[in-house]
């Protein structure tokens, strides 16, 4: 097929796509005749292959506006390669928004530099969706010519829809985008500053550290504090020790939306200077701050956090108690065993599950009899399930009879977990009960029983 005909084919296909809507039967028939006529003209050169398939999909898209079909159309157009670029550039000016966006998307994936300037022009399209699509594609193209236009798009979008896409594109453009983004941190709009901070965090350039610290320190009106939040998170990603003290200070900010990302960022930085401030944050009036502080202390792995985390197991909010239990598991400190045993009686079943998991991780035999009690008496099948798995890993023979009894539990999840645990214990008393599960109505239970029996055979042979 000649290049001219291929371009004609693409243009006609996109025109047909733009015609969309609920057409009458005679209109659909007319479209069919047009398409078939064009295909007849192409067949002598192209054969009944690829081009017809994607054109037919385009035609079907007039009546079935399904995202997966649009994705398929995009994939097919991308496969046409560089020869499709001129026609797709023309389609950027189509009257139909969906056609323009499809063309922009394809041009981004084709990676052809001829598309850069036309896509830059679409950053000022009347439709925000088109501006966003053009920004996405410019990011994929990776051409430095797009930096300033994308910065302009970022600066003029106060609602965030295009700014998000522009920031994402800038984060893919590397070094040339760093200084313009740093300059954007001075913008009067907090959302714009926030997206610039986010992009700088993704870029990971150390030049951004001090400007981001300044943004973190710049108090914003209202409680949202978008720029400070994203600056804190960006500093966490950059991993520069210069950010530790400013983030510690942010843990005391009067705005809870700033304190939250400060705790998260300090966990990423992994600096021991943050331990005591994070311990203090376990008493914060905002429970998500307390939760993030507990998580951070677990990640820092400093033994100074053990006793405060044990105290946090009694926090009034169950989400905080869960994070405290997880953190104690990460610390691996034996001081947490007894408090975690007590947490097996927590009023919140999610906390009881997490306590059982953590006792399993700690591997301390003191937890066995209490896990046995949970397996036997807890009214939550999720807790019984985790208790069974924990007992299997701990390998205490005292659990075998109760685990065998759990093979008959009404909940298939519990039966499956009990089967796994019996296999790990390696006790021959489990063979016959496991064989009884080979006919269980649940495939997962049957598979667990087969695996457990295989484990028992290996252990007996060894």
Mean pLDDT of 97-110: 86
- Checking if the pLDDT of 237 tops 80, the result is yes
| Rounded Cα–Cα distance for residues 85 and 81 (Å) | 8
Res 227: pLDDT = 92
Most confident of 17-21, 72-76, 280-284: 280-284
- Checking if the pLDDT of 302 tops 60, the result is yes
Contact of 456 with 430, CB cutoff 8 Å: yes
- Checking if the pLDDT of 339 tops 70, the result is yes
Mean pLDDT of 438-454: 95
Contact of 412 with 384, CB cutoff 8 Å: no
Res 229: pLDDT = 95
* DSSP H or E stretch at residue 118: helix 116-122
Summary mean pLDDT of the chain: 85
Res 158: pLDDT = 63
Backbone angles phi, psi at 441, to 5 degrees: -70, -20
pLDDT digits (tens, 9 = 90+) for 244-301: 999 999 999 999 999 999 999 999 999 999 999 999 999 999 999 999 999 999 999 9
Mean pLDDT of 359-384: 90
Res 2: pLDDT = 58
- Higher pLDDT: 158 or 394? It is 394
Of the CA atoms within 13 Å of residue 253, those in its CB half-sphere come to: 27
- Checking if the pLDDT of 211 tops 60, the result is yes
279-362 matches 368-462 in fold: yes
Closest CA to 45 of 75, 84, 5: 5
pLDDT digits (tens, 9 = 90+) for 141-173: 999 999 999 999 998 876 678 999 999 999 999
pLDDT digits (tens, 9 = 90+) for 321-337: 999 999 999 999 999 99
What is the value of pTM for the model shown? Answer: 0.77
What are the sequence ranges of the domains in the chain?
A: 1-110, 279-362, 368-462
Res 9: pLDDT = 59
Res 38: pLDDT = 47
Percentage of the residues of the chain whose pLDDT score is greater than 70: 82
Structure tokens at 42: 């192409």
Which residues, including other chains, have CB under 8 Å from residue 190's CB and lie 6 or more apart? 220, 224, 225, 226, 227
- Higher pLDDT: 196 or 220? It is 196
Res 402: pLDDT = 84
> At the topology level of CATH, where does 368-462 sit?
1.25.10
Tell me the DSSP string of 187-247. Answer: -S-HHHHHHHHHHHHHHT-GGGHHHHHHHHHS--SSS--HHHHHHHHHHHHHT-GGGHHHH
- Checking if the pLDDT of 71 tops 80, the result is no
Res 30: pLDDT = 52
Q: What is the CA radius of gyration of the chain?
A: 30
Percentage of the residues of the chain whose pLDDT score is greater than 90: 57
- Higher pLDDT: 265 or 82? It is 265
Instruction: Please count the residues of the chain.
Output: 462
Which of the four pLDDT bands, split at 50, 70 and 90, describes residue 24? very low
Tell me the DSSP string of 332-366. Answer: T-GGGHHHHHHHTT-SSHHHHHHHHHHHHHHT-GG
Which of the four pLDDT bands, split at 50, 70 and 90, describes residue 206? very high
| Rounded Cα–Cα distance for residues 231 and 184 (Å) | 13
Please state which CATH number belongs to domain 279-362.
1.25.10.10
Contact of 355 with 344, CB cutoff 8 Å: yes
pLDDT digits (tens, 9 = 90+) for 344-365: 999 999 999 999 999 999 999 8
């Amino acid at each position: 097929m000649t290049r001219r005909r291929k371009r004609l084919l693409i243009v006609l296909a996109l025109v047909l796509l733009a015609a969309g809507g609920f057409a009458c039967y005679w209109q659909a028939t007319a479209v069919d005749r047009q398409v078939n006529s064009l295909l007849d003209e192409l067949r002598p050169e192209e054969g009944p292959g690829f081009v017809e398939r994607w054109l037919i999909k385009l035609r079907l898209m007039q009546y079935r506006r399904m995202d997966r079909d649009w994705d398929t159309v995009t994939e097919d157009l991308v496969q046409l390669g560089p020869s499709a670029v001129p026609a797709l550039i023309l389609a950027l000016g189509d009257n139909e928004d969906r056609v323009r966006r499809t063309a922009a998307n394809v041009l981004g994936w084709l990676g052809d530099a001829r598309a850069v300037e036309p896509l830059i022009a679409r950053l000022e399209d009347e439709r925000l969706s088109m501006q966003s699509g053009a920004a996405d594609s410019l990011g994929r193209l990776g051409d430095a010519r797009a930096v300033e236009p994308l910065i302009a798009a970022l600066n003029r979008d106060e609602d965030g829809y295009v700014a998000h896409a522009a920031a994402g594109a800038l984060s893919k453009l590397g070094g040339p985008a760093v200084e313009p983004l740093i300059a954007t941190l001075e913008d009067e709009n907090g959302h714009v500053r926030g997206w610039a901070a986010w992009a700088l965090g993704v870029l990971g350039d150390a030049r951004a550290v001090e400007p981001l610290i300044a943004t973190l320190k710049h108090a914003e009106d209202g409680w949202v504090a978008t720029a400070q939040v994203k600056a804190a998170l960006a500093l966490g990603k950059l991993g520069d020790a210069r950010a530790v003290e400013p983030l510690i200070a942010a843990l005391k900010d009067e705005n809870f939306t700033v304190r939250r990302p400060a705790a998260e960022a300090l966990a990423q930085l992994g600096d021991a200077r943050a331990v005591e401030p994070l311990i203090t944050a376990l008493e914060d009036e905002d429970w998500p701050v307390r939760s993030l502080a507990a998580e951070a202390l677990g990640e820092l792995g400093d033994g100074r956090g053990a006793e405060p985390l044990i105290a946090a197991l009694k926090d009034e909010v169950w989400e905080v108690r869960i994070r405290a239990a997880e953190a104690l598991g990460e610390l691996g400190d034996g001081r947490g065993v007894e408090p975690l045993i007590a947490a097996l009686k927590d009023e919140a079943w999610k906390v009881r599950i997490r306590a059982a998991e953590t006792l399993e991780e700690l591997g301390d035999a003191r937890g066995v009899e209490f896990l046995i009690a949970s397996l036997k008496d807890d009214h939550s099948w999720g807790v019984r399930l985790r208790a069974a798995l924990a007992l299997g890993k701990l390998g205490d023979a005292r659990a075998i009879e109760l685990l065998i009894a759990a093979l008959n539990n009404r909940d298939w999840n519990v039966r499956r977990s009990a089967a796994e645990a019996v296999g790990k214990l390696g006790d021959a008393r489990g063979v016959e009960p496991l064989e009884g599960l080979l006919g269980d109505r649940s495939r997962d239970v049957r598979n667990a029983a087969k695996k457990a029996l295989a484990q028992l055979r290996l252990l007996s042979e060894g």
